[in-house]
Structure 1
Amino acid sequence: MSRTIAITGATGFAGRHAVAELLAQGHRLKALVRRPDRAGLSSAVELVQGDLHDDAALDRLVKDADAVVHLAGAITALELHGYFRVNAHGTLALAEAAVRAGTRRFVHVSSLSAREPQLSPYGASKRAGEDTIMRLSDKLNAVVIRPPAVYGPGDKGTLPLIKELTRPIAAIPGPRDARFSLIHGGDLARIIAAAVNGTEQGIHEVSDGQPGGYGWPDLIRVAEAMRQKPIRAVYLPRMVPMAVALGAEALSRLSGKPGMVNRGKVAELYHRDWVSRAGALSLSDPVTFEAGYPETVAWYREAGWLPAGPRADRTAQNSRT
């Protein structure tokens, strides 16, 4: 059934996947964007100029919408307030607009980091956003989706990790025994679309369904199969990335521009359990890392984000296509 869906975060990596999936299913989309001239979205998407702190824009966004998909969020900030301003207060403003409009479904895409809010300002702010939605859950018919690390073609967030896996010596910023879940961007979009049409409420952790998640050796084996050469993993002591984070934070304060490297992110990387707990939202045919990694590397190389690989690497990729 075709619905009118209001969406935030449509211009981000996960958002673009969600937009493509929802349009493919015949839904009408209204997207909140700061710069319509730079949105780069399909002409089929109605653009609403504004942000999460503009109540008038939020009211325009959710007007006549059957459902809201909330993907927007701050992944970097100079201080705690910066995270909470977007991930908590912005989420509350959108939720209140949806309540005023009588929206019948609210899909809030959070983060698995919200499960451990003590680790980072980002995780704490995402948990606060979830708490807001849960308080209004009955009025919103809301469901909260907690994805783990999201990867795939076009994603800059996981590019540094993928880049390490293409090298003969991979520097791993995390403990050797860590376990974690992953999800391909296209799969997250399918889960979001299913949630729009579903009736589930509460908080649901999602993943590609890999039992027990992955360990670093699992990712190394997949990368080695593509390279057809061994890869040596070097597990960095926590003090190494922590020192880098301290320097990066100092530079961010001087420039006034937040960066991706900070102490909170390091704390998340060195947490040993990021395995999603199976819930009601899952896919019968998910993209595993074994299939998603070669696709992602090939896209990065074609886009010039990674250098061309060795011949054995390219041959392995071609054998999968």
Structure 2
Amino acid sequence: MSKLVTVFGASGFLGRHVVRELAKRGHRVRAAVRRPHDAVFLQPMGAVGQIQLFQSNVRYRTSVSDALAGADACVNLVGILAEGGKQKFQAVQADGAEHIARECARGGIDNVVHVSAIGADAESESVYARTKAEGEAAMREHLGDKVTVVRPSIVFGPQDDFFNRFAEMARMAPALPLIGGGKTKFQPVYVDDIADAIARLIDGEAETGGAYELGGPEVLTFKECLELMLKIVDRRRPLVPVPFFAAKPMGQMGDLVSKLPIIQAPITEDQVKMLKRDNIVGEGVKTFDDLGITPETLDAVLPTYLFRYRKQGQFSPEVPV
């Protein structure tokens, strides 16, 4: 029998893929978003009436309670990479997660998936990483083994904020910066693989409770990621190492820029701090193997959406990867 699944953050990069996967499995989806009028694109992903848009803001507990009324399961995808307006790390990733955890516990919802991040650490100098850890702690405090925490590495896919951002920069900028010398390690993971993992956990096809760390089949440095991107978009740009001490003022400038409406900062000070630690799957944790999923490679997916950054777009000659 299909479930009613409330998905917080349903209109985001990962959210749209999770909604589509849940709908494909026959579940009814309540897409809890701050601006339903901007999430209409979700509805054609299911049958008529299968996907319901619902106005909700995790900063307000009553709003969360309304979104969870009558739900059988819950997925929390809400997170931000940079602060802006009232969207603060503490309010969204820590307090928001606690609101969801409390209301799920109060409503007797015993199937909850909470998406955090590799690197979540209560002792981190990064506010992003600290509040991710606080969100995890709140979930466990109120829900115990009824919540499954999913920690992905850097996520790639058609709407990602990593490869797309640097590919766009490569169109205009004469060079690309390598923060910290480009030595930070990533384990890029395909967005559809994460959505598949979440759906399997909601359907009880894998062990629930505890935490899964999800990374792709390849570990690459920051520099190697940019080199691969440049090869796919067929552009030559020098990669300039920027030490962390020099990247700090760049991040501070980015913080000021991010306060302006409709302007996305290239990098913030908090993101510079995050780059000081590798973002790869740890030892002795549950992974894709425990979910029965073989993750996609970068080579198989990146060319399918980065082609638009080539000089002639989709009409450019095919570039071997």
In the superposition, the TM-score normalised over structure 2's length comes to 0.83
Superposition deviation, residue 102 in structure 1: 0.7
Q: CA offsets, 1:185-221, max 9 Å, x none?
A: 11111111122123321122111133xx212454355
Partner of 1:286: 295
Task: Note if 1:141 corresponds to 2:146.
Answer: yes
Q: Classify 1:104/1:158 alpha carbon distance in 2 versus 1 (closer, same or farther; 3 Å).
A: same
1:175 partner SS: helix
Task: Note if 1:242 corresponds to 2:244.
Answer: no
The answer as to whether partners of 2:73 and 2:109 remain within 8 angstroms in 1 is yes
Q: Which amino acid aligns with 1:21?
A: E
Superposition deviation, residue 227 in structure 1: 5.4
Q: CA offsets, 1:1-21, max 9 Å, x none?
A: 522111100011111111111
What root-mean-square deviation, in Å, do the aligned CA atoms of Structure 1 and Structure 2 show?
3.1
Aligned residues: 307
2:211 equivalent among 187, 191, 203: 203
Cα distance in 2 for partners of 1:176, 1:34 equals: 36
Q: Which amino acid aligns with 2:300?
A: A
Runs of 4+ in 1 over 6 A off after TM superposition: 165-168
Partner of 1:56: 62
Cα distance in 1 for partners of 2:311, 2:96 equals: 42
Partner of 1:315: 317
In the superposition, the TM-score normalised over structure 1's length comes to 0.83
Cα distance in 2 for partners of 1:229, 1:121 equals: 35
Partner of 1:29: 29
The answer as to whether partners of 2:7 and 2:74 remain within 8 angstroms in 1 is yes
Unpaired runs of at least 5, structure 1: none
2:279 equivalent among 274, 282, 291: 274
Q: Classify 1:228/1:162 alpha carbon distance in 2 versus 1 (closer, same or farther; 3 Å).
A: closer
Cα distance in 1 for partners of 2:148, 2:263 equals: 30
Q: CA offsets, 1:212-251, max 9 Å, x none?
A: x212454355346535676643222224432222223345
The answer as to whether partners of 1:182 and 1:289 remain within 8 angstroms in 2 is yes
Unpaired runs of at least 5, structure 2: 44-48
- 1:1-321 to 2 correspondence within 5 Å? 2-40=2-40, 41-42=42-43, 44-77=50-83, 82-115=88-121, 117-138=123-144, 141-163=146-168, 169-198=175-204, 199-210=207-218, 213-220=219-226, 222-223=228-229, 225-226=231-232, 232-251=238-257, 255=260, 260=265, 261-269=267-275, 271-277=276-282, 279-282=285-288, 284-298=293-307, 301=308, 306=309, 308-309=310-311, 314-316=316-318
Cα distance in 2 for partners of 1:17, 1:175 equals: 33
Q: Classify 1:310/1:173 alpha carbon distance in 2 versus 1 (closer, same or farther; 3 Å).
A: farther
- Identity level (%): 24
Superposition deviation, residue 272 in structure 1: 4.2
Superposition deviation, residue 78 in structure 1: 5.7
Q: Which amino acid aligns with 1:184?
A: Y
Superposition deviation, residue 53 in structure 1: 3.2
Cα distance in 1 for partners of 2:146, 2:112 equals: 6
1:162 partner SS: helix
Q: CA offsets, 1:112-138, max 9 Å, x none?
A: 231475131111111100111121233
Q: CA offsets, 1:137-165, max 9 Å, x none?
A: 33x61111111111211224542233456
Q: Classify 1:124/1:313 alpha carbon distance in 2 versus 1 (closer, same or farther; 3 Å).
A: farther
